[in-house]
Amino acid sequence: MSIDELNASFAISDHLTWVEGPGGLPIARANFGHAETEISLHGAHVLSFKIDGEPIIWLSKEAVFNGKKAIRGGVPVCWPWFADHPTDADKPAHGVARTSEWRALKTEQLDDGIALELGLTDSEQTREVWDHAFELRLSVELKADSLTVTLTSTNIDSIPLEFGCALHTYFAISGVHSAYISGLENVGYIDSIDNDQRKVLADAIHIDREVDRIYTQTESAVLIHDPDWDRTIRIDKTGSASTVVWNPWIDKAARMSDFGDDEYLGMVCVETTNAADDVRTVAAGESHTISQTISLA
C-alpha cells in the first residue's frame, strides 16, 4: 500500500499518521499525551518510544533502512527462532519476521491510548527459510505513560510447531557504566559468551564487558536504573519465562557494520523472549501470545 492508501485506511486524526521514513520505508507515527512512537512495516519494527521527548528506546545512528536487512535498534521481532537456528547455520539469525514486510490490519483510538495491529502470514519468502503455515499479529498500544508490544503466533499448519521468539528491545541509557539492571538477581542464566554455561548471580547487573545471557525461568518485571538521567525503565511481560540481556561491548560493536563503535556505551538490550528452555510447542490451530509493557517506574 502507498503512504496515501495507508493514511486513507489507517490514520487517526491528531494521533496517528503514516509517513515515508528513511529508505522510503512506510512508518506509522503515533502520539498520545506526552508519549510518541514510530513503527515500521518492515519487520513490524518499533523504531522509537519517547515520553516528554526523551528516548526510552534506542536506535543506532548506523541503522540500515533498505527493506532487506533488520533494523539495528528499536524492537526487532525475532521469530520463529531466537539467535542462530538450532540446527542449520545457513538460516538467518533470529528468523524471518524482522526482515519481512508486514501488513497494516487495524488502528484504533482507545479511551486511554492508540492501538495499531500489523500482520504477517507465510509467503514464498518465509517458506524458503521456514516451510510452515503461520499467522502473526503484532499489536502496539501507546498510552500516555507506556508502550505495550504484543505478538500472537498462530499455528495454521497441520503439525505442532515450535515457536521461539524475542521482542528484542534496545533501551537508551545515559551510560553503560552508571546504569544497571535489577529483577534478575538469583535467576539462573545461560552465558552465551562462555560456552553456554549455566550460572547464577546474586547481584544486580552492572555491565562492564560483553554481556549475552539468556535468563531462564523468569516472569518478573525487569528494571533499568539510570541515576544519571534520574529515571528507571520498567519492563513487565506476559507469555514469556525467559529474558535476554545483551550489550556487545567494544570488539563486537566494532565488528557490526550497522552499529557505531562507541554506541555500546548508550544502550542495553533487555529482551522479552521465548528462548532456550522457554521455546513453545504450539499445536495445529493453537496460538501463543507474548507481550511486554515498557513504562517509567
Residues that bind ligand BG6 (CB under 6 A): 70, 83, 93-94, 168, 192, 212, 244, 246, 271
CB-nearer residue toward ligand BG6: 94 or 237: 94
Of 168, 219, 225, 263, which one is the catalytic site residue?
168
Whole-angstrom Cα distance, residue 262 to residue 106?
39
Residue nearest to ligand BG6 as judged by C-beta position = 93
CB of 180 to ligand BG6, least distance (A): 19
Asked if residue 51 lies in contact with residue 145, where contact means CB atoms within 8 angstroms, the answer is: yes
CB-nearer residue toward ligand BG6: 68 or 111: 68
168 is catalytic: yes
124 is catalytic: no
Of 36, 38, 263, 271, which one is the catalytic site residue?
271
CB of 6 to ligand BG6, least distance (A): 27
CB of 259 to ligand BG6, least distance (A): 8
Whole-angstrom Cα distance, residue 112 to residue 65?
32
CB-nearer residue toward ligand BG6: 72 or 288: 72
Sheet holding 54-55, edge to edge: 16-20, 26-32, 35-40, 45-51, 54-55
Asked if residue 83 lies in contact with residue 70, where contact means CB atoms within 8 angstroms, the answer is: no
- Of 3, 6, 44, which Cα lies nearest the Cα of 21? 3
Strand bridging mode 280-282 / 231-238: unpaired
Q: How far from 88 is each of 81, 154, 157, 194, 228, CA to CA, in Å?
A: 11, 23, 21, 21, 43
- Of 264, 261, 238, 269, which Cα lies nearest the Cα of 249? 264
CB of 256 to ligand BG6, least distance (A): 6
CB-nearer residue toward ligand BG6: 16 or 70: 70
- Name the residues annotated as catalytic: 168, 271
